[in-house]
Structure 1
Amino acid sequence: MMFGRHTRGVALLIVLWGCTLLAIMLGGFAALARTEGLQARYQFAQTRAHYAAEAGVMRAIAALQAPDASSRWIADGRVYVFAFDDAKVDITIVDEDGKVDLNAASGDVLTGLFKAAGVQDDRAGRLSSAIQDWRRPGDAASPNGAKKPQYEAAGLAYGPRNGPFASVEEARMVLGMDAATWATVAPALTIWSGRERPNTEHAQPLALAAIPGLGGAGAEAVLATRAQGGGGAMAGGNGVTHTIRAEAILDDGTRSSLTSTIRLRGIRSGNQPYAVLRWREGDTE
């Protein structure tokens, strides 16, 4: 009799443990299903936001080539708002000819850029010379410049390209370029304008201040005149190479951003109207 009771007690204990394990497993499956559902919703929202941002880039390209000059968007950094599906897309366009070209800018413009960025005069001159030496063929350094021996003396395992910059980011490697200076000047740099100095019609404040004889006060005056002029007068004066940034925001707060540098080719039958020079997703460099 005692043996039977003991057996029934063990059986009951096993059943209870089994129920407990089943409850734990069911709870785990429920939590996993909920997590996967949340992940699926997040990925779906991110995908929607991404394609809304892409639509913003395409909208900007179309607006830059609008047949009516007065309705064209202006590539001077102003914000355009575009509604796509359930997303609000903020779009900015910057004309590359309003930036400082690493491969074509004069020494004075490069020095002016670094001064406008808050760099001391002597160091601004050295950075300017180092950039010119990076892009210039030959092994002899210019005064205050830097070729292979100067990089070696600084403990660096590389030297200048001795040819044109292949990307804007390459300027981070120039001798004397620190992270803080780079972060300040990077938005004002390009390799696609081919201009000795920025175009004042499209240049942002830092690039404007880099132009010899203009400075900070002159840059402010140009910007004030530009703001008073509205959009129509300058809409036809855009260049052909632009950097477009589109940030899409859904109703639930999901965000996605794209930055693309494109070169317009004109609207002709059978011709791709633009070429993509650079494409970057998100805000990281």
Structure 2
Amino acid sequence: LSKSDPEQKWMADGRPYSVTFDDIQVELSITDDSGKIDINAADSAGLKNLFVGAGVEEPQAEELADAIVDWRDPDDLSSLHGAERDDYRAVDLPYGPRNAPFETLSEIQQVLGMNYELYSKIEPAITMYSGRSTPSAAYAPIEALMAIPGMTLEQAQQLIAQRQALAPGQLGQGNAGLTMPDGSPLMADGGGLTYSVKSRASLPNGASTVLDATVRMGGMNSAGRPFVVLRWRDGENS
């Protein structure tokens, strides 16, 4: 990721890579978080599209989106379809909105109307680290692409396949030939400094473990280190 030569730099668009270290086979993918939906920055319309893309009916999607906005905004005024403290009390929940930005991704499960099953569907598409109001389609996972107006599942799958078939550096040259549902060209905008890395390490005896990490490359608060770990999860040991 730190290489300046685009021909050698790994693409952070979710495409798979495979490397071997001392007989340990590592399969990994990297996603630039600028391709995800920032739950602290996206507006209600973008959040609604996220839920609709995940299979939620539009009325419920509107309620969830407005409830997320009410959770993070500093006031006690309910959005049109949102939820403030009295709405949480009405269903016997012992808490209300934070009225401040989300501090963890999993915190979104506390929003009125959310559940773990739905969180599991949208988790690959959300972030807190891009600061963008809309995701960059050049790096977006399929769950985030489905939040783009007019995007169908077939179009999203086709776009990812075409995107990952491009050589490193080609996407930003303007001649990739990929288009959005509205006909506009898909262009890489430079991306961000935060990446989600998913990896599986497998031993010759068949044992394996999975690691899911979010890292920020250099930048502020890195204290001279090449990257800072923002989120770390491991599991699926076998």
So what's the TM-score if we normalise by structure 1?
0.72
Of 118, 124, 129, the residue aligned with 1:187 is 124
The alpha-carbon deviation at position 232 of structure 1 amounts to: 3.4
The alpha-carbon deviation at position 233 of structure 1 amounts to: 1.4
The residue aligned with 2:39 is 102
Q: What SS does structure 1 have at the residue aligned with 2:74?
A: coil
Give the conservation status (yes or no) of the 8 Å contact 2:64–2:112: yes
Unaligned runs of 5+ in 2: 173-187
The alpha-carbon deviation at position 216 of structure 1 amounts to: 3.7
The alpha-carbon deviation at position 215 of structure 1 amounts to: 4.5
Residue range with higher mean Cα deviation, 257-266 or 108-117:
257-266
The residue aligned with 2:57 is 120
In structure 1, C-alpha distance between the alignment counterparts of 2:91 and 2:37, rounded to whole Å: 27
The residue aligned with 2:4 is 67
Matched, 1:139 2:76: yes
Matched, 1:257 2:194: no
Give the conservation status (yes or no) of the 8 Å contact 2:209–2:236: no
1:154-209 per-position Cα deviation (integer Å, ceiling 9, x unaligned) = 11001110010001100011000022211111111110011111101000111011
The alpha-carbon deviation at position 220 of structure 1 amounts to: 4.0
Change (3 A) 1:227 1:260: closer
In structure 1, C-alpha distance between the alignment counterparts of 2:80 and 2:218, rounded to whole Å: 41
Give runs of aligned pairs for residues 1-285 of structure 1, distance below 5 A: 64-216=1-153, 218-234=155-171, 237-265=190-218, 271-283=224-236
In structure 2, C-alpha distance between the alignment counterparts of 1:224 and 1:167, rounded to whole Å: 31
In structure 1, C-alpha distance between the alignment counterparts of 2:129 and 2:42, rounded to whole Å: 11
The alpha-carbon deviation at position 245 of structure 1 amounts to: 1.6
Name segments (4+ residues, structure 1) moved above 3 Å.
213-218, 234-238
Residue range with higher mean Cα deviation, 135-144 or 235-244:
235-244
Change (3 A) 1:122 1:245: same
Q: Which amino acid aligns with 1:180?
A: E
The residue aligned with 1:42 is none
In structure 2, C-alpha distance between the alignment counterparts of 1:67 and 1:229, rounded to whole Å: 18
So what's the TM-score if we normalise by structure 2?
0.85
Change (3 A) 1:142 1:209: same
Give the conservation status (yes or no) of the 8 Å contact 1:103–1:135: yes
Give the conservation status (yes or no) of the 8 Å contact 1:151–1:159: yes
Q: Which amino acid aligns with 1:124?
A: A
1:133-172 per-position Cα deviation (integer Å, ceiling 9, x unaligned) = 0001111111110010000001100111001000110001
Q: What SS does structure 1 have at the residue aligned with 2:99?
A: coil
Kindly tell me the number of residue pairs found equivalent between the two proteins: 218
Q: Which amino acid aligns with 1:274?
A: F
Q: What SS does structure 1 have at the residue aligned with 2:25?
A: strand
The alpha-carbon deviation at position 238 of structure 1 amounts to: 4.3
Q: Which amino acid aligns with 2:53?
A: A
Q: Which amino acid aligns with 1:255?
A: S
In structure 2, C-alpha distance between the alignment counterparts of 1:234 and 1:78, rounded to whole Å: 13
Q: What SS does structure 2 have at the residue aligned with 1:277?
A: strand
Q: Give the percent of matched residue pairs that are identical in Structure 1 and Structure 2.
A: 40
The residue aligned with 1:59 is none
Give the conservation status (yes or no) of the 8 Å contact 1:74–1:234: no
Unaligned runs of 5+ in 1: 1-63
Structure showing the higher helix proportion among its residues: 1
In structure 2, C-alpha distance between the alignment counterparts of 1:177 and 1:221, rounded to whole Å: 30
Give the conservation status (yes or no) of the 8 Å contact 2:66–2:82: yes
In structure 2, C-alpha distance between the alignment counterparts of 1:81 and 1:225, rounded to whole Å: 20
Change (3 A) 1:227 1:164: same
